[in-house]
Chain A
Amino acid sequence: DTEVTQTPKHLVMGMTNKKSLKCEQHMGHRAMYWYKQKAKKPPELMFVYSYEKLSINESVPSRFSPECPNSSLLNLHLHALQPEDSALYLCASSQDLRGTREKLFFGSGTQLSVL
C-alpha cells in the first residue's frame, strides 16, 4: 500500500463551523505534512510532524490546529475559518524527515470552500 488517503475530498463550511480533515497512511512513514495550495499556486508548507511530534509550524494561524494521534493518522482541525482559507489542503508523508531528500507521497487533497 503506497497511498496517502485524505477525507473528505470536498468540504464546504461556514465561518462559524468546526470541521476536521483526515489523512491516513500505512507505509510505516514517520514524517507527515500538511500543505495548503491555492489555485494556480505551488503548495505551501503548513505543518510537519516527525515521530508524532510537531516539528515545524510555519506560523500558521491558530484557527488551524493539527493533531497526530498515531503514526498512521494526521488530522487538521478547522475552526472559525475565513473565506481566504479556501484552498486545496494536501497531506503528505515520507519515511522520515530526510524525506525532503527522498520522496514525499501526497494524498489527493481536500478541496475546502469557506463561505
Chain B
Amino acid sequence: AQSVTQLGSHVSVSEGALVLLRCNYSSSVPPYLFWYVQYPNQGLQLLLKYTSAATLVKGINGFEAEFKKSETSFHLTKPSAHMSDAAEYFCAVSGFGNEKLTFGTGTRLTIIP
C-alpha cells in the first residue's frame, strides 16, 4: 500500500520568497508521485509528476520537486512566490499496477503581499 504525509496543513510565505511544501511517502513498490494544485471552487490540476525518470522534476508555473529515495521525500519548491500561487496543494502517490491515486491531506498556501 502507498501513502503520503504532508507536513504543515497551512504555509504562509511572503510574495517573492521561497515556497517549500513538504511531502513524505511510504510505498512497498517503486512509487509514482504527483503534486496537484486546487484553486478555490475548482477541480485539481497536475503541477508535476515523478515516474522514475529524472529525480528533479520541473512542472508548470515555475514549480519543481526532487525525489529523494533515501529520505522518502518529494518536496515541492518554487524560488519566488507569486500572489497567484495561493491555493491548496496535494501530494499524491500511486504504485506500479495500482489503479488508485492516494492523496495527502493537503497544504493550504497563503501568500503575504
Contacts and interface: CB of A to CB of B under 8 A. Distances in A.
A33 B45 CA distance: 15
Nearest to B39: A108
A100 B101 contact: yes
Contact of A97 (B46, B51, B99): B99
Sorted from nearest, which 7 A-B pairs have the closest CB atoms? A106-B43, A42-B103, A100-B94, A106-B44, A101-B32, A100-B101, A108-B43
Instruction: Give the interface SS of chain B, mostly helix, strand, loop or mixed.
Output: loop
A42 B46 contact: no
A42 B98 CA distance: 19
A42 B90 contact: yes
Contacts of B96: 101
A30 to B, nearest CB: 13
Interface of B: 32, 41-46, 49, 51, 90, 94, 96, 98-101, 103-106
Interface of A: 4, 40-43, 45, 48, 55-56, 90, 92, 97, 100-104, 106-109, 111
Nearest to A44: B103
A91 B90 CA distance: 17
Contacts of B101: 45, 100, 104
A40 B40 CA distance: 11
Contacts of A45: 100-101
A103 B49 contact: yes
A74 B64 CA distance: 33
A42 B105 contact: yes
Contact of A90 (B44, B99, B106): B44
Contacts of B90: 42-43
Contacts of B32: 100-101
